Every structure is written in C-alpha cells, then in structure tokens.
Structure 1
Amino acid sequence: MPMLGVKSKAQLKCIYTNARSMGNKQEELEVIVQQDSYDLVTITEMWWDNSHDWSAAMDGYKLFRRDRHGRSSGGVALYVRECFDCLELDDCDDKVECLWVRMRGKANKADILLGVCYRPPNQDEEADEIFYKRLGEVSQSPALVLVGDFNLPDVCWKYNTAERKQSRRFLECVENNFLTQLVSEPTREGDSLDLLFTNREGLVGDVVVGGHLGLSEHEMIEFLIHGEVRRGTSKTATMDFQRADFSLLRTLVERVPWETVLKGKGVQEGWAFFKKEVLKAQEQAVPMCHKMNQRGRRLAWLNRELWLGLRGKKESLPLLEEGAGNSRRIQGSC
C-alpha cells in the first residue's frame, strides 16, 4: 500500500478492513497498525465473542466493538488511539451491526462522528429501515464519516444507479442525507462492497485501496480524516510485568486442582473458569501502573527478522496484484 507521507497534527490516519474472521490475524494487524502509525482502525466481520476479550486488546488503543449476538460471524469494531477524547453513542438495536463513536473536536472545531457498519448480504428491509433512520439522525452532525461493508454489488457509484429494490432504497437514503461515497475501486473480486461516506467536502481524503489482512478476500482501505480532535489525559492502568512476582503467580496457578475442577465442563464453561482463576492469581502477583504514551514502541515479540519479513510482504502485495487489480477495476468500473 502506498505511503501517505508525513501527516500533520490536523490529520487522522485511518485504515479499514473486512477481516473475514480475525482468527490468527491479530498480530499481523498490530504490525500493520504500528508500522504506519494509524490513529483509527475500523474492522468488519471480526467473528468475535466473549472468549476474545483478551486477544482483541491492542496496546495503546481504546477498543469499541459490537459482536453479533445469537449468530456466528459478523460484528464490527473500532480501535481509537487512546490519547483522543471520544465517546461511543448508544445504539441498542441488535438487528443492525453498526457502532458510532464521537471524537471531540478542539475548541471551536466540530466533533467528528465516525460510524462502522456491516450489512449482511441477506439483511431484510426492516433492518435496512432501522439503519436508515439512525443514519438520518447522525447525518445531522457537521462532520460524519461512515465506513463498512454494505454488500450491495449491483450499485454503480459512478452513475448512482442500482438494479435491486433494496439497493435503490440505499442510494435514496445516501442522497437524502447528502452523503458522498469515496471508494472508486472494487474491494472484493471486482465488486464494490466496502464503502466510505462523508457528509462534508474535504473532510476525508487520500483514499487508497489495496492490500489484504491475512487471507481475507477484501482489500483494505486507507484514508485520512482532516480534522482537529481533542486529546485527553489517559488514566488507563495496565499490568506492570517488570515488577511481577512470577513465582507467586506460578504457585497460585498450580494450587488449582485443574483436572478435578475442569472434569465434565464444556469448552466454553471450562475456558470461563480457567480465565477467572488466572485473572484472580494475576491480580495478586502482578502490580498495576498508569500507562504512559507508547507510540512507536516496538512490540515485544517482534524481532528484526519478523519486522522486515512482514514489511516486505506489505510492500510487495500491490506489485503482485497489479495485473489482477487492473482487470478488476475494468470489470467493476460500473
């Protein structure tokens, strides 16, 4: 993915991906985020549930997420650099996979409202209308950015036309709320599924499509938000493993008669019990400290060999896909 150059203080560097299951992609995502120093990371189709509470955390970022309830896959998430002052808006309707976060603007600057949405291919008209109602409300914000996978391959964004009734209704909602769609290239197998909207000219720029997270079929979208947001003082506490008593931690964990207490428990029940006991031991053996700004610090597990390998993978992807990408653009131009 092409580099966007040095960013100013009035720019937020953002990346979006449809992960098609985060699975074993979390470490790769962390490398990508650290390497290019993103401020915002938006994800659809994480396929997370409560068992991913530990693995989903990313050092230096606040995580907002909405898992799909009662069904597998799906879900949306947003990582925001923890130094920024932001707040998630209430949205309790489980029929729509969407979350909204308000980023506080500096004095005399507008707040930026950022939305992440996943619309399943089989979503019914009732759920669509719930989303459209909410979109109409948030579009009153003077600075709105919405990104996600809307699964509307029949929409031609060049001419704002569509074949299916639901797609035409989506276009009508976009027009009624004065939104502009900024992704001009296909993002999955010649189709424009992943989209980026804004309601203010000049708010979003330098949109770049390219690269994949792991084996996801969706291409990532990189973009800049031009706006000044308020930075807050982080009061986040974190575990200080440098002062941890690992002998005590080992002793506390070994005291638990694991074979006896886990006997007869299912996978989920057993995992919940294991997590509870380890956390209990961790509270006694690992002291807490206030987290400092760790921008630019290399991940502990990331040695030079891995860093160069992953960096080379990212830089080579656009070259490897250039031929296929050109043909996809021709096929998906309308």
Structure 2
Amino acid sequence: MGDFNHGHIQWTSLQSTGREDQEFLNLVQDSFLSQHVLEATRGENVLDIVLSSQNEFVDNVKICEPLGCSDHNQIHFIIKVKGERNRKIRYRNNFHKGRYKDMREYLAKIDWNNTLKNKTATECWNILKSEIDCVVDKFVPLKKQGKRSKKKHLSKEAIRKIKYKQMMWKTYRHTGSEEDYSIYKEALNQATAEIRNSKRSQMAS
C-alpha cells in the first residue's frame, strides 16, 4: 500500500497512457499482483493503491475523507489473513497477599554482621538485593497481569463534530459541489480544534 503516483493508469480497464505508468502496470501484471483501489484518492486520480499477491487477501476497500490537512483520501480495508494468536500470559507479584511475617522471620535468621563484614558498599547492596529477591520469590504469590484500560481522550462534543465532519465528507463525495466542500472544510477545522481542546483537558485533569 502507498502513494505510487501513477495517475494515468485506468485500473478498471488495465490501460495506461504514460510510458512510466505502463511500465508499472506491466510490472504489476507480470508479478501476478491484484490492485484493489478503483476510486480516486487525490482529485480525480488513483495515486494511492493497495497491492496483494492474492485477490482474496484484501476486502471491503473504502475511500474515506482525508486525514488532517492531507490532500490524499484515506483508504480503509480489511486484510484477511488467518493465523494463530499467540496469547502470552504475564504474571506479577501480588504484594497484597504477601506473607510478611514469614519474610521477617527468614531475614532475622541471617547473620548480617558476618554476611556483610569487610564488604564494599556495592557488594553489600548486591547481597541485600539478592536476599530481598529471594524472600519475594518465596513469600509473595504471583497473579495474572490484566490489561490496562486506555484513557479516553475525546469528549462527547469532539466525537459529535467528528461524526458531523464525516457526514459532510460523504455529502461532498456524493455531490462534488464546491459549496459542500467548503462546508466539509469548515467542519474539519472545527473537529480538529475540538479534538485538541479535548486532549488538553484530559491531560490537565
């Protein structure tokens, strides 16, 4: 996927008028690749394309509104690839259920004077750290680490303006009128400003 900048290729009929465009089209066909974008992605040209080695790998291709100030439309699509999901279970110490009485008894049995005698500060620290790690392993159980919840950065007003912007984009794509494009651009600016305000408010709270 990317901006290949070959705007003179007609992907529906697999024809081209430019030499470089024809060479690229020949390369795609000789490599037995499928190209999935058939609608314009910038102006009236198909510049951004999605290639795959098998046609069924890509599905539900949609041309959507530009992202931010870009003059290229977004391309949304689904990649259909089967694979096994590797679920790695992570654990961490559950200090709330630590057996601290047993820890104290274990550490009290250590002859610290002889253990740390004639040792440097670094050596003393390494010995102490090793013993602490040991008692944690012995007396603090493990528990599965859950997923952290992500903070929501967008306010309801920001979400509302994003939806309105998307609706205006669809209207412009349907009509192609300059008036509807101006309405879309105004909606885009308002949505962008509201998103920034929403994120700033979230960071300040």
Q: TM-score, normalised by structure 2?
A: 0.53
- Aligned partner of 1:164 among 12, 18, 26: 18
| Matched letter for residue 181 of structure 1 | Q
Deviation of 1:193 (Å): 0.2
Q: Could you say what the CA RMSD is over the residues aligned between the two structures, in angstroms?
A: 2.6
Structure having greater relative contact order (Cα 8 Å, sep ≥ 6): 1
In structure 1, distance between residues paired with 2:172 and 2:8:
28
Change (3 A) 1:291 1:311: farther
State yes or no: 1:173 paired with 2:27: yes
1:299 to 1:318, Cα distance in 2 relative to 1, 3 A: farther
Write the distance in 2 (CA, Å) between the matches of 1:309 and 1:298: 22
**5+ residue gaps, structure 1:** 1-146, 237-289, 326-334
Structure 1's 153 and 235: CA in aligned 2 closer, same or farther, altered over 3 A?
Answer: farther
> 1:67-109: per-residue Cα shift (whole Å, max 9, x none)?
xxxxxxxxxxxxxxxxxxxxxxxxxxxxxxxxxxxxxxxxxxx
Match of residue 175 from structure 2: 323
SS in 2 for 1:310: helix
Partner of 1:221, secondary structure, is strand
Higher mean C-alpha deviation, range 186-195 or range 223-232: 223-232
Preserved contact between residue 149 and residue 195 of structure 1 (Cα < 8 Å):
yes
| Aligned partner of 2:51 among 197, 201, 208 | 197
How many angstroms apart in 2 are the aligned matches of 1:292 and 1:154?
A: 52
1:66-77 alignment to 2 at 5 Å? none
What does residue 4 of structure 2 align with? 150
Task: Give unmatched runs, 5+ long, in structure 2.
Answer: 91-143, 178-205
> What SS is found at the alignment partner of 2:49?
strand
What secondary structure does 2:79 align onto? strand
CA contact (8 A) 1:234 1:291 kept: no
How do residues 1-334 of structure 1 correspond to structure 2 at under 5 angstroms?
Answer: 147-233=1-87, 293=147, 299-324=151-176
- Structure 1 pair 291–200 and aligned structure 2 pair: CA distance change class (3 A): farther
User: What is the alpha-carbon distance in structure 1 between the residues aligned to residue 162 and residue 146 of structure 2?
Assistant: 27
CA distance in 2, matches of 1:179, 1:199: 5
The CA deviation at 1:177 is 1.0
Structure whose residues are more often strand by fraction: 1
Deviations 1:110-130 (A, max 9, x none): xxxxxxxxxxxxxxxxxxxxx
Q: Identify the structure with the greater helix proportion.
A: 2
CA distance in 1, matches of 2:87, 2:73: 35
Deviation at 1:150? Answer: 0.3
- CA gap of 1:235–1:317, structure 2 versus 1, over 3 A, is farther
Q: Do the aligned residues in 2 keep the contact of 1:155 with 1:167 (CA within 8 Å)? A: yes
Residue type matched to 1:302 in 2?
Answer: L
Distance 1:292 1:220, change over 3 A: farther
Write the deviation string for residues 190-236 of structure 1: whole angstroms up to 9, x where unpaired: 01101111121322111111211112111111111222233334699
The alignment-based identity, stated in percent, is 24
TM-score (ref. length: structure 1): 0.33
Query: In the alignment, is the contact (CA less than 8 A) between 1:150 and 1:193 conserved in 2?
Result: yes
How far the C-alpha of 1:315 sits from its partner, in A, is 3.3
Q: Taking structure 1 as reference, are residues 187 and 292 closer, same or farther at Cα in structure 2, changes over 3 Å only? A: farther
The offset of 1:166, in angstroms, is: 1.7
